[in-house]
A and B are shown apart, each in its own frame.
Chain A
């Protein structure tokens, strides 16, 4: 009888979990990951982007970034280009929105021109790199539909949730992505990107996680294109979170006076 109760109890407790579909579980984990990285308010960081072609030739970009967390909408962000020297002073302002197209302005310093640009080109390369605009954009929950695949070891003794996510926004260059998130802190570890035809196009890996306050940030992101053999490394430095930036630091005027 005792055993029977035990089994009953077990059944009662495991039932909701059993009833959870892979889609529900995937969404639940995406929500948990989103919640884990909420509350940083604002962030500044420096990025060095190294583009490498198949024969190993390198080309460097240096970018300073600022982001402002938004409640109930995608983040606001500013990117200021320092290198290559011919585009020094060029800057980009983005108000990202979940499924709605982002608002985006570009500042061209030689002409002093602030230009509203279409954010349609999500699948296009960012600065000639292997990162597409959509890879670097604000990752809102509603941008994808999710499916839980499995749990597996993912290096350094970490255990990872493996999720498949399918872009729900228009004009994505991907048919799906498979993402590895570590089960304890929900840090992204790896993403495989599949092109529109369904073949594995690129793999992004994160390295060198450190905590800044309560939040994890990686020192390095590495994108390998499997079709072209080209790759891009992003090295991050000088992460500063919760620095007191506000909406006034993210408008067309701020874009044009940034240095």
Chain B
């Protein structure tokens, strides 16, 4: 029996030590949000408190040639039941061979170069209840095969399952006049969520230029809206078209100048259009012999559907500034405004963060919608200017 025990222990010990504490990290955060105007739509609140938890488990073996990642995420929100949600951000296995990478599972991928919006980025669905800027994403089930070359790589993505976009509920802010009922989502394809999407991307660099070309064929991540089947006067239902998207990303990196361009051509059964974001970031380094860096950003946002379409950024200008203190607390601030050149609408946004001690980070985010034209798709958010403060504990 003792012998059996020791054999068991001998077998378990390496297994236990492979699940080392060092493989765990993540964060837990408390967030407060305050909306500065009274709500525009019935049922909406004005302030909310929210708790989020994202543990991250990563384990590598075989000298980093094999890896496993598990990142669940959960948020509890006092104001909006739809914002109280959980997701598996990542649950994936990675295998690396000479010049090849294989990934299978739920994963996250980012494409793009510009700052004001991310047109090309299409693999992961937007977790819209998390943030109105669209930068938070849901985990996407996929098989991904990468061929790596000296100065670039080619990726193939096979996606057997579609993730629906999250939308604020009836009590949530930053929503359309009629809330979107995500349970009534409809699809152009009979395969619905089981539609098999695929995508290809070639990216690389040549001297000072980083480039990428991509192709996507599958269910559009951005839905259109149709009348709700049961409550057409109260709710909207998302409708997901099939979409083909060709994408281009370019960045020239000079000494102080970055020049950036993202462009997409999108084609569905009802429309063909193209959209682009292009501009620059110029950085003043070490202002007045200090450690301070100031970047000035200018981008132009275009959508060929013009003012008729549902695109909020059809002929818009983004101007912004990025202040980096380069201090021990990694303090930084990004402030910007998107100005609609057709409508009068303006959106201002500020993001600032600073580390506190060794393990805490304080982030402040504010967004202001001003002079929103009634014909602008942003009109629904007219009363939704907000300030958000988050304190996160990292481990």
Contact = CB atoms under 8 A, between A and B. Distances in A.
B125 to A, nearest CB: 14
Nearest to B281: A118
Contacts of A113: 110, 112
A86 B355 contact: yes
Nearest to B328: A128
A43 interface: no
B213 to A, nearest CB: 15
B253 A121 contact: no
A221 B313 CA distance: 51
A87 to B, nearest CB: 7
Contacts of B99: 248
Contact of B148 (A85, A111, A127, A251): A251
Nearest to A195: B289
A147 to B, nearest CB: 25
Nearest to A113: B110
Interface string B228-269: 000000000000000000000001011111100000000000
B93 to A, nearest CB: 12
Contact of B67 (A123, A127, A259): A259
A143 interface: no
B285 A257 contact: no
Contacts of B251: 116
B112 to A, nearest CB: 8
Given A101-B255, A128-B326, A128-B327, A121 B395 contact: no
Interface in A49-84: 51, 53, 59-60, 83-84
Given A84-B355, A85-B395, A120-B255, A59 B328 contact: yes
A41 B113 CA distance: 34
B273 interface: no
Contacts of A60: 358
Interface in A124-144: 124-125, 127-129
Contacts of A200: none
Of the four ranges (under 10, 10 to 19, 20 to 34, 35 or more), the interface on chain A belongs to 35 or more
Contacts of B25: 85, 88-89
A257 B283 contact: no
Contact of A111 (B94, B135, B392): B135
Nearest to A51: B328
A252 B394 CA distance: 26
A175 to B, nearest CB: 13
Interface in B106-154: 108-110, 112-113, 135, 146, 148, 150-153
Given A124-B286, A248-B99, A257 B327 contact: no
A232 to B, nearest CB: 10
Contact of B359 (A85, A116, A127): A85
A247 B150 CA distance: 8
A240 B257 CA distance: 38
A257 B94 contact: yes
Given A87-B330, A88-B394, A253-B101, A121 B283 contact: yes
B286 A59 contact: no
A171 interface: yes
B217 interface: no
A112 B94 contact: no
Contacts of A196: 289
A8 interface: no
Nearest to A119: B255
Contacts of B210: 116
Contacts of B330: 86-87, 127-128
A168 B244 CA distance: 51
Contacts of B113: 115
B285 A86 contact: no
B19 to A, nearest CB: 15
B7 interface: no
Contact of A259 (B64, B257, B328, B361): B64
B18 interface: no
A22 interface: no
Interface in A211-259: 247-248, 251-253, 257-259
Contacts of B109: 112
B253 A116 contact: yes
Interface in B20-60: 25, 27, 58, 60
A248 B99 CA distance: 7
Contacts of A89: 25
B285 A120 contact: yes
A11 interface: no
A32 interface: no
A86 B286 contact: no
Contacts of A117: 253
A173 interface: yes
B358 A59 contact: yes
A121 B285 contact: yes
Contacts of A127: 330
Contacts of B82: none
In this complex, the member of A101, A115, A196 whose beta carbon has the largest number of chain B beta carbons within 10 angstroms is A115
A84 B25 CA distance: 11
Given A60-B358, A112-B109, A116-B210, 5 more contacts: A84-B358, A117-B253, A118-B254, A125-B327, A195-B289
Interface of B: 25, 27, 58, 60, 64, 67, 94, 96, 98-99, 101, 108-110, 112-113, 135, 146, 148, 150-153, 203, 205, 210, 251, 253-258, 283, 285-286, 289, 291, 293, 326-330, 355, 358-359, 361, 392, 394-395
16 contacts: A53-B328, A83-B358, A87-B330, A116-B258, A117-B253, A118-B257, A120-B256, A121-B286, A121-B293, A128-B327, A170-B255, A173-B286, A248-B98, A257-B96, A258-B64, A259-B58
Interface of A: 51, 53, 59-60, 83-89, 101, 103, 111-118, 120-121, 123-125, 127-129, 170-171, 173, 195-196, 247-248, 251-253, 257-259
Ranked nearest first, the 6 interchain pairs of A and B with the lowest CB-CB distance are A85-B394, A128-B328, A112-B110, A120-B255, A86-B394, A113-B110
